Structure 1
Amino acid sequence: MTIVLSEKLQRTQNYCIRYVYDVRREQHITPYYIQSNILKLKDQRSIKILKLVHSILKFGIPRYFSEYFKSVSHVGVRSTRSGSYILRMPQHKTAVFDKSFHVMACRLWNALPQTVTSIDSSSRFVAKLKDMYLERLAGAVPV
């Protein structure tokens, strides 16, 4: 999805929140996202990507993706404590590949704390991710 389309879609979501809560245009909308437990679209996409990566790493499903995601401990000679939770980033030189699903998924997964990546249950994993993203959104609320 292009940046322009993402911004248009986010504006549409903002308009919907403004309509539901009768929020004026000059008011900040983030508190209403938090109040309704709704994540912004970028965060929702990130959670969907991370949910797929979680199912690939924990359960090997779907199989055709599992060969693309290898932890650093599988690739390197030395074993580290965090190596089993960090994914190996594919080498790339182009901006197009930098925006690919594989690179984005590795980046998002590697940014997660180990307490989140070590969760085995899919439902608990997604719930923890949503809580984490909502807390981050709450930290961005203007005073």
Structure 2
Amino acid sequence: MTEYKDDGRFTIIANFRRAAVRALITSRIDYANSLLCGTSSANIQRLQRAQNRAAKLVFLAKKRDHASPLLDQLHWLPVYKRVTYKILTIAYKCIHNCAPPYLNDLISLYQSERRGLRSGTDTTLLARPRTATSSGDRSFAAAAPRLWNQLPRCIRESSSLGAFQRSLKTFLFNS
């Protein structure tokens, strides 16, 4: 495998390419990507191919080179994890009343009827609404609590948005 590090001049040019790719390609992949929750794997694969090509462009890698090590080197999450990251970031903002009211109204904390359960003491869990259709399961109101409740408690209890995002990105990279 080729290591894509070189002298300082290469790093400056690579940083310029990285900024250009972030402005022109990655920003388009990330724009409203929370709407992609539950979409078909074919749609996710199309976006993943675009992200892989963008990573290869940053490093001037060959067409046949694997993109995974390049994505790791750039600290870019795969597309499906970027969607999860966006949904969970919006959920964090909703819980802390930093999101628009129409989104805040979609999220509510879980209220346990039984106080003896271990989950009854966890005040960071979200209530999961009942949905009748698969499209209802893909909605933000259903997907955000499902993903949020799967996070480790230490991440859910982050004190600030920045700390939450750092912990979440590390968690998603390692999972």
Q: Tell me the TM-score normalised to structure 1 length.
A: 0.81
Number of equivalences: 133
Matches of 1:112 and 1:87, distance apart in 2: 11
Over aligned residue pairs, what C-alpha RMSD do you find? Answer: 1.9
Instruction: Give the residue type in structure 2 aligned to 1:56.
Output: C
Where does structure 2 lack aligned partners over 5 or more consecutive residues?
1-35
Q: Tell me the residue number matched to 2:114.
A: 78
Map 1:97-116 onto structure 2 (within 5 A): 97-116=136-155
After TM superposition, give the deviation of residue 21 of structure 1 in Å. 2.5
Residues 58 and 120, structure 1, Cα contact 8 Å, conserved in 2: no
After TM superposition, give the deviation of residue 121 of structure 1 in Å. 0.4
Structure having the higher Rg: 2
Q: Tell me the residue number matched to 2:167.
A: 128
Q: Percent of aligned pairs with the same residue?
A: 26
Question: Deviations for 1:107-143, whole angstroms, at most 9, x for unmatched residues?
Answer: 110110000000120111111111111223xxxxxxx
Where does structure 1 lack aligned partners over 5 or more consecutive residues?
137-143
Question: Deviations for 1:87-123, whole angstroms, at most 9, x for unmatched residues?
Answer: 1111112111111121111111011000000012011
Matches of 1:20 and 1:65, distance apart in 2: 36
Q: Tell me the residue number matched to 2:4.
A: none
Question: Deviations for 1:41-64, whole angstroms, at most 9, x for unmatched residues?
Answer: 221221111111111112353222
Q: Flag the structure with more relative contact order, 1 or 2, with Cα contacts below 8 A and sequence separation at least 6.
A: 1
Structure 2 vs 1, CA of residues 60 and 26 (structure 1 numbering), >3 Å: closer, same or farther? Answer: closer
